[in-house]
Each structure stands twice: as C-alpha cells, then as structure tokens.
Amino acid sequence: MSKLDLSIVIPLFNEDESLPELTDWIAKVMEREGYTYEIIFVNDGSTDNSWAVIEELRRNNENVKAISFRKNQGKSAGLNQGFKAASGDVVITMDADLQDSPEEIPELRRMIIEDGYDLVSGWKQKRFDPLSKTIPTKLFNAATRRISKIKLNDFNCGLKAYKLEVVHNIDVYGEMHRYIPFLAKNKGFDKIGEKVVQHQARKYGTTKFGLDRFINGFLDLGTLAVIGKFGRRPMHFFGAAGTLMFALSALLLAYLGIYKLWALGAGVEARLITENPLFFILLALNVIGVQLFGVGFIAELLLRESTKKHDYTVDKKIGL
C-alpha cells in the first residue's frame, strides 16, 4: 500500500451531532484536492451515540477509521492513540466540534511538505469563544511563549499539522495536549510554524473543559520546563539544590565553631552552641540537603529502570 497523503486525527467526546457534517466536509475537501487520506476518530468514551454514528460513517466511506476507549481518558490520551495509528505523510489534528475548518488542511499540508516545517499550529486570531476563556488564554499563551521560547500565539489550537515522524516521537500524556509544540521542541523538532485559521462558534453540544483547565495548564507548564532541562539528569537539579543547602549549613557551622573558640580564648562569656538559634537553622538545612540528594538519587534510579532511557529522537541513519 502506498503511503497516504494525510492522516486526520480527531479526538472526540460526545460529539454525535457534529460528526456527519464534519466527515462530509473533510471528504469534500480531500476529493477536491485529490488526496489519499484516512480520518482516524478516537472516541474518548462517549456516552452519546458517537460510536454508532462513526460505524455508520464508515459504511459509506472506507477512509474513516476509528478507535474507541472504554471510558473517558482525556483529549491527550485520544491524540496519543490516534498518533500511534496514523500513517500519512502529514498528520492533521482537529477538534470534532466543527470549530475548526477542514478548508485549512491543504495549506497546512503545503507548509509541512514545501516549507519544511516539523509542526504548524493553527492560530485562532479571531476567536468565537466566551470572554471567560479568551482572557485567561492570552495569559496562558504569554507564559508558555516565555518558558518554551517558541514564538506561537495560540499553543492550544486543536487544528495542527505535523510531519509523521513528529507524532511518532512524542508522547502526549496527562493533559499535555496543550503543549504539543513544547513536547516536540523538547524532542528536537524545532521548525515550528503558525498559520492563521478560521474559527467558528460551537454549533452543537457544549465545551468539554471547565475553568480548571487553566490551573492544570500552568502546573503542566512548570513540569515541562523542568523536565525539558533536567528530565534526563535529575541529580543535576536535586544535587545542586542539596549541595547549596549543605554549603550554607557548613558556613553556619564554621561561624558557630570559630566564634565559640574565639570567645573561649578571649574569655568572653559564650553560649552553648546548641542554645544559638543559628544552630537549628543549620540542622534544618542539613536535613533538607540530605533529602534533596535522596530524591535526586531515587529519580536517577527510576530513570535507569525506565525503558524510555534511550528514547532519543534519531534523525538520520547510515548502514542500519
């Protein structure tokens, strides 16, 4: 079988009303452009008729493929599963709710193939979402830009295009779907572009994410920032912090000891070292220092055991 031009991965949770319209629209664009393609629906434990609708769509269009989770696992898990199944030269992700337009696909594909981008992210410059979502989103994007040093305006846009190699090398877990460009960059795919895309108000159903998305989002950003830098060498992080604590406690100890000796020699009345408040700070620093080293050591052990130890993104090979 020759390779497909496009794999379109669509995670969905309770979107039965949107699916037929979305599928027709995608098929129309694909036929017009003459692409070979597959639509991979990942049914994320929907409790409505989504799965039955997908089965029906498959009967009329054999480019429709689907995976179903037994229960709701979240959008990241859906994307991850879809990525594993994808085989097209270019992989597109889009939401199932008709907010993203399939008309964007040809240009997104062109940017990957001709301009050589690893990843192109949609930018909903003109959004049709409530203010309660657009304002925190601005903050979220500003923070992510700063920390990831990727110049994107809209990290969490559901509409994105990837080289196949990229999706086969990233692991979207937890709620990391918000940070896929950051995940890609951490794996060495740093040719990341952006395209302004049309956005529409949700036609059917309701949003699946509440306000907690922002709190969780910022926690995940912190995790990614640390993992990107120290994920493969945790001891450098914890060990450095532990050493700092030890150094401080050693300084305090030296100060207390020298002062005591000087006081004895000079005949000045000196308190017991254990009566000096500094002594307790010294003790605390010591305990924290040992703990930091311990945590670093355990992290290194875990890393040794983990199968992902050698999970580097290989770029080129000769003779293998």
Interface contacts to Mg ion, rule CB under 5 A? 95, 97, 99
Measured distance CA(8)–CA(88) in Å, rounded: 8
Nearer Cβ to Mg ion (13/189) = 13
Query: CA 216, CA 221: separation in Å to the nearest integer?
Result: 9
- With CB under 5 to 8 Å by kind, the binding choice for 78 among ligand UDP, Mg ion, none is ligand UDP
CB 320 within 8 Å of CB 284? no
What's the CA gap between 318 and 295, in Å, rounded? Answer: 40
Residue 13 interacts with, from Mg ion, ligand UDP, none (CB under 5-8 Å by kind): ligand UDP
Choice between 38 and 44, CB closer to ligand UDP: 44
Show the site string, 153-172: x = touches ligand UDP by CB under 6 A, - = not: -----x--------------
Largest CA distance in the chain: 99
Helix (H) or strand (E) holding 296: helix 277-305
How far is 307 from 310, CA to CA, in rounded Å?
A: 7
Backbone φ, ψ for residue 68 (5° rounding):
-130, 130
75 touches ligand UDP (CB under 6 A): yes
Is 82 a residue that touches ligand UDP (CB under 6 A)?
no
Member of 4, 7, 13, 37 binding ligand UDP (CB under 6 A): 13
**Three-class secondary structure of residue 207 per DSSP:** coil
Question: Closest CB to ligand UDP among 69 and 246?
Answer: 69
Q: Which of 16, 97, 104, 175 binds ligand UDP (CB under 6 A)?
A: 97
Three-class DSSP category at 123 = strand
By CB under 6 A, is residue 208 in contact with ligand UDP?
yes
Q: Which stretch binds ligand UDP (CB under 6 A): 6-14, 19-27, 80-88, 166-174?
A: 6-14
Identify whether the C-beta of residue 124 lies closer than 8 Å to the C-beta of residue 95.
no
d(CA 145, CA 150): 5
242 binds ligand UDP (CB under 6 A): no
Among the candidate windows 7-15, 110-118, 234-242, 265-273, which touches ligand UDP by CB under 6 A?
Answer: 7-15
Binding interface with ligand UDP (CB under 6 A): 11-13, 15, 44, 72, 74-75, 78, 95-97, 99, 158, 207-209
